[in-house]
Amino acid sequence: MNKLLLPLTVLLGAALFLAGVMADRPGSPEAGVFPMAEDITAARMIPGGEEEGAQSPVDLNLQHDDKNRLEIARILYWLSVGTLQGGLSRQPLPSGGPEQLVMETADGTVLTLTNAVDRIAVPAQDSWLTTGVSVPQTVNVRINDMAGRITAPDLKRWMEEELPRRIEESRKAPQ
């Protein structure tokens, strides 16, 4: 009996330890936090940068363009497997940008993604200079009036590389 008690105790201790580690670890967003790809009815890319406001948003054709639908599905997948940092709250986030991706569902849910950027201040002679610094592997996410940050390396790369390229291509495309 004593020979069986020791292995069972060790096994139970290991299981409790792993359960505690998993509970303390920030995890993937809960199921249902982000809309499903088939629920997205409209999506648009909003340019930013120096001439902010000078350009109108670029609507993505989701009805007749399977490439855009696939891209939206990929983005929502990256969100669902990302790590939500501290949950969603009504507290404002540091500004992000400059470009944004805005998705809307039929029930009125609005999902906005921006590149996570933190402002820093650097001393310069008699004043301070402020600048933005990109937060590694992190994007800002806003669902209606709730906001948070999510660590999603593939989505961060898309926000920094693909989104500006797609906006630039739309500028060059004949209207």
Q: What is the pLDDT of residues 41-63, one digit of tens each?
A: 999 999 976 554 456 889 999 98
Cβ contacts of 156 within 8 Å, gap of 6 or more: 115, 116, 136, 137, 138, 139
* Domain range for 139: 65-174
- Answer yes or no: are the C-beta atoms of 152 and 81 closer than 8 Å: yes
Residue 87 lies in a domain: yes
Residue 9 lies in a domain: no
Residue 139 lies in a domain: yes
Q: What is the pLDDT of residue 22?
A: 44
Residue 78 lies in a domain: yes
Instruction: State pTM to two decimals.
Output: 0.74
Residue 141 lies in a domain: yes
pLDDT confidence tier of residue 122, bands split at 50, 70 and 90: confident
Torsion, Cα of 80, 86, 92, 94 (10° steps): -90
Residue 17 lies in a domain: no
Domain count, the chain: 1
